Chain A
Amino acid sequence: MKNSIAERVADFLNRYPPFNMINTSDLLKIASEVNIIYLEKGDTVFNQGDHFNDHFYMVRDGAITLHYTLNGLEKNLNMNDVGDIFGVRPLIAKESYKLTATANEESIVYAVPIATFQSVADNNAKVYKYLITAFATNAYDPFTSEENAEVFVDYIPTTSNDMVNFQTAEYTKNPVTCKENTTIRDAAIKMSTLKIGCIIVTDKNKNPVGIITNSDIKNKIGTGKFPIETVVTDIMSAPVITSKPDITVADGQLQMIKNGIGHLCITKDGTTNSKAIGVLTHHDVLVSLGNNPAVILKEIKRANRTKKLRTARLKANTLLKSYLEQNIPISHIVKIMAQINDAVTYKAVEIAVSKMPTEPPVSFAWLALGSQGRREQLLFTDQDNALIFEDVSEENYDTTKSYFLELAKRVSERLNKIGFEYCEADMMASNPEWCKSASEWRDQFKNWILKPDEKAVLLSSIFFDYSYIYGNETLVDTLTETIFTTIDKTSLFFKFLGRDAIKSPSPVGFFKKFVVEQNGEQKDLFNIKSRALMPLIDSARLLVLINKIKGINNTAERYEKMAELEPENKALYNSCAYAFKALSKFKAKQGILHKNSGKFIVLETLTKEEKLKLRRCFKPINEIQETLKYKFDL
């Protein structure tokens, strides 16, 4: 019998990973077994500690929050939007749920039966690869990363053209082994001389019977549970998880996650009944994957020329693209991209310093400003930066300043070569105005705060979100202290900032239509940066300054902190944090799609769903603006 509903469910599933990697007839088979579940706001799909279900889930409408309670504290982990999958734990490990899934609003989810799914997807490595990622990233949290062997959270499969995962894994051949009657002491000495992390215990036929890793020695010997003269068989993990020599990278990884281990023993026929011929470690897996943040960061650290930095940074863009395609939580993406951008900048400064004819005359600090300063830069944007140098005597001032201006110019050129455009407004350390001594900077900020005007407010949106990148950090700390003591003396500055934060009117007009640009080149385009992101960024900055919150630059994190400080407004602040993340993701996706900054959005190219998603983010903007109006009597 024809089942139109199943066909429509399949159409929907087919728009999102991992289902878009499954062929049409198999997908229809899965779709016809789906349960459509309606949820009211607050209904749960499953609860932390529940026995696992026979289904995993995809959001059809609405949004589902994943959260957990630890020591009585409620923690939100991730918000799943339309097309996101969740509750995949039973697919990978048959154990109880570690999280609770609650409807954030009225929602519809598809429950996909695991048995049917596995019957068609079992041999599809691409599908598994995706699920591992979804599982690992939803579990990305200090709370769970330990048990998942944290390296996996960084493994993100790249495009389907990337054949790495189907390649045979490069494992360490000729593994180090020891006999069953060896003492721990001898085994440990062997491991330490050969600088290896594990040793395989073999029987007389050289078949593996157990494995001892660094952590076994730490946990079982270091703690005194067993004396060091114990024979290895007493503390080894047995039986050993083994695999055939032709294991693929993806399979190796799956085995490790399934068994919660970091080492796989490779034997001749893949069972424990044949000779041990190698060891595959997670490090090996990571190295073969290459395109992951850990490897990129290493590459940046090792770079000795700007050209190499550029290559590494470009790899990060590919990584970003796959992250976004795979619906990895934006907070995770932002953290990684910020780390990479900071590392690139650090290295660019370091190289520039080493190429200067002389050592710096005094210590200095390099600051990132604006979006990089807030650690929310995803795509290449303009470089905004500044330089602080230690105070010097008056007669040395000119030579010192010109030294640092020259240094800044060189850094700027390098950053430009790497891919960061020069700042149009010239807010760069190579501009004499933004390359100053410590005391000059303190006076500058005092001036902005105590005598605010239009220009000060404009600059504050860039300069108040600075973060330390390179050099003498105390110079930056002192500046921060000064700012916070000065702020205490006035409330006028807040009023200016507040007025600025609410100056952009609501992004949707009276008839729920998007407010688009009225004229110029961008006519009829929606400016997501100025209409939606900036009001949130500006409001967050104002809130942290008032509450004297130091060291949190990221807008979403600022709201999350505010939610902690003002439990009565928790819902509002959390929704602002969420809206900000969703909008940034949106902007980045648009940017990648159109190969630009993603700032202007052609509304016609959006699906109805995307428009709905955008609209949902606008609600908190209005609410936070109303709150500020009330707070500052604007």
Chain B
Amino acid sequence: MLNWFKNNKKEYPDFWLDYLNHFKSKKRTDIKTTRFVAFDTETTGFNKKEDRILSIGAVSIIGKTIKVNQSLEIYIEQDIFKPETVKIHGILKHGSLEKISELEAIKLFLAYIKDSDLVAHHAGFDKNMINEMLLRNNLGKLKNKFIDTGHLYNKSKHIIYRDNLKEHYSLDDLCEELNVAKTDRHTATGDALITAVIFLKILSRLDKRKNLEWDYLLK
């Protein structure tokens, strides 16, 4: 009976199976000791089918600490290149940065994130871009839980101020609101670190009012 099931399943490469394996034993632990990964992507544009990821930056957070030597910074070789977006991300088609293939990037990224909860600003966009990239390489979708800092910020505001909230907070808005230095804005790693700091600041604000629960955080 199991054979029938197996035959229908695609032959996935080992690194993908390793990645899936992490989720089998995943248990919810205390938020204070959980590893979160804040990440950001720089892309050639906003169309998930047409555009490509040029760079991924990620940092991991455990407790209130970010370890500099445990960050991820990758640049990806792509055929699609849109000169008009260079002014935003600064990545040239044939720059001096060391670039790797999409598949290599996926391997590194999955090995880095494992089953951690992912934090991103406007997480939906980054999630779609990564999932598209996985699809192109004949892999499944990301299994990780996502936390969107824009959404989380709205929740951190007291109910009486909710009326004044903007629908859409850019990362720059949050930097202003939460007094975070905009160092290396618009590089994937720079934005990942900014997102991580913003995440920690919002967490502390949420935690002040109630004992922070997972349900609330991931909702």
Contact = CB atoms under 8 A, between A and B. Distances in A.
Interface stretch (B10-18, B44-52, B68-76, B157-165): B68-76
Contacts of B74: 1
B88 interface: no
B183 interface: yes
Interface string B149-179: 0000000000000000000000000000001
Contacts of B189: 3-5
A565 interface: no
Interface string B38-67: 000000000000000000010100001111
Contacts of A31: 68
A108 B184 contact: no
A143 B67 CA distance: 35
Interface stretch (B23-31, B113-121, B134-142, B193-201): B193-201
B111 interface: no
Given A2-B97, A2-B98, A40-B204, A35 B67 contact: yes
B73 A38 contact: no
Contacts, number: 68
Interface in B82-140: 97-98
B201 A4 contact: no
B69 A32 contact: yes
A106 interface: yes
A9 B193 CA distance: 11
A39 interface: yes
B217 interface: no
B201 A43 contact: no
Given A35-B66, A39-B64, A4 B204 contact: no
A9 B71 CA distance: 13
Given A38-B201, A61-B181, A4 B68 contact: no
Contacts of B68: 3, 5-6, 9, 31-36
Contacts of B75: 2
Contacts of A5: 59, 68, 71, 73, 189-190, 193
Given A34-B68, A36-B68, A8 B201 contact: no
A37 interface: yes
A36 B38 CA distance: 14
B184 A4 contact: yes
Contacts of B59: 5
Interface size class of chain B, counting residues whose CB lies under 8 Å from the partner chain:
20 to 34
A8 B183 CA distance: 8
Given A1-B74, A61-B181, A38 B69 contact: no
A43 B64 contact: yes
Contacts of B98: 1-2
Q: Is the interface of B mostly helix, strand, loop or mixed?
A: mixed
B67 A108 contact: no
A8 B181 CA distance: 12
B69 A37 contact: no
Contacts of A38: 64-66, 197, 200-201, 204
Contacts of B65: 35-38, 111
Interface string A169-200: 00000000000000000000000000000000
**Interface-centre pick from A6, A38, A39, A43 (highest chain B CB count, 10 A):** A38
Given A5-B59, A32-B69, A106-B201, A37 B64 contact: yes
Interface string A73-116: 00000000000000000000000000000000010100100000
Contacts of B72: 1
Given A37-B64, A39-B64, A43-B64, A1 B69 contact: no
Given A38-B200, A38-B201, A108-B197, A4 B64 contact: no
A35 B64 CA distance: 10
A451 B68 CA distance: 66
B57 to A, nearest CB: 7
A525 B195 CA distance: 37
B18 to A, nearest CB: 20
Nearest to B75: A2
A151 B75 CA distance: 55
A81 to B, nearest CB: 15
Interface string A9-46: 10000000000000000000001111111111001000
A619 to B, nearest CB: 14
Interface string B177-217: 00101011001011001000100110010000000000000
B99 to A, nearest CB: 11
Contacts of B179: 61, 106
Nearest to A10: B68
Contacts of B71: 3, 5-6
B187 A4 contact: yes
Contact of A106 (B67, B184, B204): B204
Contacts of A35: 65-68
A1 B69 CA distance: 11
Contacts of A32: 68-69
Contacts of A1: 72-74, 98
Contacts of B97: 2
23 contacts: A1-B72, A1-B73, A2-B73, A3-B69, A3-B73, A4-B57, A5-B68, A5-B189, A6-B68, A31-B68, A32-B68, A32-B69, A33-B68, A36-B65, A36-B66, A37-B66, A38-B64, A38-B65, A38-B201, A61-B179, A106-B201, A108-B197, A111-B65
Interface of A: 1-6, 8-9, 31-40, 43, 61, 106, 108, 111
Interface of B: 57, 59, 64-69, 71-75, 97-98, 179, 181, 183-184, 187, 189-190, 193, 197, 200-201, 204
Given A2-B97, A3-B69, A38-B204, 11 more contacts: A2-B73, A3-B68, A4-B187, A5-B71, A6-B68, A6-B69, A35-B68, A36-B68, A37-B65, A38-B201, A61-B181
Which 3 A-B residue pairings sit nearest by Cβ, starting from the closest?
A36-B66, A38-B200, A38-B64
